[in-house]
Structure 1
Amino acid sequence: MKKIALIPARYAATRFPAKLTADLCGKPVIVRTYLSTLESEVFDEVVVVTDHREIESLIQEVGGIVFFSETEHQSGSDRIAEAAKELNGDVFVNVQGDEPFQDAHSLSELVKVFEDSQVQVASLMTTIQDDAQFNDPNAVKVVVDQQWDSLYFSRSPIPYFRNEKIQRNVFRHIGVYAYRKESLLTFTQLSKSYLEEAEMLEQLRLLEAGIKIRMVFTEHETIAIDTPSDLERAIEFFKSGKGA
């Protein structure tokens, strides 16, 4: 089973323009992401998929592989699908370009579930830490069945605890996805769905189409750089030695 990590790296960003080229303790964010993914030793290939020559140049300077995206895309999934069409692989993992500290154990466990031939798509989740995060619409919640396949994703707090005495097992979705090649290409050919439009969560398109997503639990906390303050937090994390 050939495993390929695809890192979508779009230069433009609404909240933090050019964030992927911002300096993170001596290296640009996208280079940190590329190197931590490569150093996980989980993948047969790691490819950065970008629409910008500066990002292409930065990755090539460290000996990395770049697929230059010629098409305008609405999402990172659409961008990596363009690359996946041209690559020979079985399982493709969408690693977010703005998450510079990838975890080898989490990525390994994610691709391992594809040993089950029934699994077509997989993703990560972790425990929700507190009520503030549970109620935060920016923290996407997920509920699963007994096989750890997702039942639903929502920005709302789910499940609702009518029974206040029951132990709360609540999970936050981490947006790292793994796909079999045909499932990725099928996904990006589907029209946007009603629930996807309502919640603004593209993974709901898969559920509405009847495609299951196998969830993999991790205790690894990612740092996604969406704002300048997130970058400051990532710098402090790196300086602490945890991200080195």
Structure 2
Amino acid sequence: MKIVGIIPARYNSVRFPGKPLVDMAGKPMIQRVYEQAQKVALFQQVIVATDDERIEAAVKRFGGDARMTAKTHQSGTDRLAEVARQLDADILVNVQGDEPFIAPEMIEQAIRPLLDDPAVAIGTLKHHIKTPDELLNPNVVKVITTPTGRAIYFSRSPIPFIKGKEMRQDGFAAFTFYRHIGLYAYRRDFLLTFASLPQTPLEMAEGLEQLRALEHGYVIHVVETHHESLGVDTPEDMERALAVLRGSS
């Protein structure tokens, strides 16, 4: 079974333009993500999918594999699907291009459900929410699952709602809440189908494309991970990431 890691990377990020090429202690961020992905033992290949010649050139300078894609894609998943059409692979993993410290073990955890169960279309991760601020932050996507790990729903709101006095007094302590980590492993056939499906009502309401898969009846398996990762969405996040690098050197 061939498993390929694909890192979508675009230059024109709204909150942080050019972030894949921002220098992180002598290496562009995209290189640090690429090097972490290369540590995944299950990968036979790692590819950067981009629509920008500057990113393509940077990847080639450090010896990586870059593929140019259309500039019209609305999401990283669409960019992934374009590259997947050109590949003879069984499983494609969307490795976020703004996760320079992602643990290889996290990626392997997302892949494993697809190897263990042919009914699973997508493998992904969740992490225990530890603070009320994180729970109430709409930029932190929450997830609920069955006891066996099947996704029930994803939301920007706290889910589930805890009914009654206990929630009003100390709702955070009343339940174990989980945030979704946006790392996805897809079966190739599903990915190509998914990219052609129209947006669904819940997807549009929440702004979460994984709900499209649930609304069409596909199985998403969510694995709990104990690994932490520091994503870089803004210049302020980059400052924190650089502080981590300085502390580890």
TM-score w.r.t. structure 1 length? 0.95
> Match of 1:214?
221
Q: Which runs of 4+ in 1 moved over 3 A?
A: none
Partner-residue secondary structure (3-state), 1:173: strand
Is 1:189 matched up with 2:231? no
CA distance in 2, matches of 1:105, 1:36: 10
Which ranges in structure 2 are unaligned for 5 or more consecutive residues? 168-172
Deviations 1:70-105 (A, max 9, x none): 351000000010000001111100001111112121
- Conservation of the 8 A alpha-carbon contact between 2:49 and 2:83: yes
Q: How many residues align?
A: 242
Mapped partners of 2:35, 2:148: distance in 1: 33
Q: Distance in 2 between matches of 1:237 and 1:49?
A: 27
C-alpha deviations, 1:112-140, integer Å up to 9, x for none?
Answer: 11121111111111000111111110110
Residues 142-157 of structure 1 aligned to structure 2 (within 5 Å): 142-157=143-158
After TM superposition, give the deviation of residue 111 of structure 1 in Å: 1.2
In the alignment, residue 215 of structure 1 is paired with which amino acid?
V
3-state SS of paired residue (2:244) = helix
Shift of 1:39: 2.3
Q: CA RMSD in A?
A: 1.4
Shift, 1:42, TM fit: 3.1
| Aligned mates of 2:16, 2:114 — CA distance in 1 | 35
Q: Return 161-170 or 62-71, whichever deviates more.
A: 161-170
Structure 1 pair 95/222, CA: closer, same or farther in 2 (3 Å)?
same
Which whole-Å CA distance do the structure 2 matches of 1:161 and 1:58 have between them? 49
Give the structure 1 partner of residue 56 of structure 2.
56
Output aligned runs, 1:102-117, within 5 Å.
102-115=102-115, 116-117=117-118
Q: What amino acid does structure 1 have at the position aligned with 2:75?
A: S
Q: State the distance in 1 between where 2:243 and 2:40 align.
A: 22
Could you list the per-position Cα deviations for residues 28-83 of structure 1 after superposition, in whole angstroms to 9, with x for gaps in the alignment? Answer: 11111111111233311000000111111111111111111135100000001000
1:120 is matched with 121
- Deviation, 1:216, is 1.1
* CA distance, structure 1, for counterparts of residue 34 and residue 246 of structure 2: 19
Query: 1:238, CA displacement in angstroms?
Result: 1.6
Question: In structure 1, what residue type is equivalent to 2:245?
Answer: F
Q: Give yes or no for contact 1:42–1:107 (8 Å, CA) kept in 2.
A: no
User: Which amino acid letter does the alignment assign opposite residue 26 of structure 2?
Assistant: G
Q: Which amino acid aligns with 1:60?
A: K
Which one is further off, 148-157 or 62-71?
62-71
Cα distance in 1 for partners of 2:211, 2:120 equals 17
Residue number in structure 1 paired with 2:170:
none
**So what's the TM-score if we normalise by structure 2?**
0.93
Structure 1 residue 167, shift from structure 2 partner = 4.5
Q: Distance in 1 between matches of 2:113 and 2:214?
A: 18
Letter aligned with residue 242 of structure 2:
I
Name which of structure 1's ranges 119-128 and 109-118 shifts more when overlaid on structure 2: 109-118
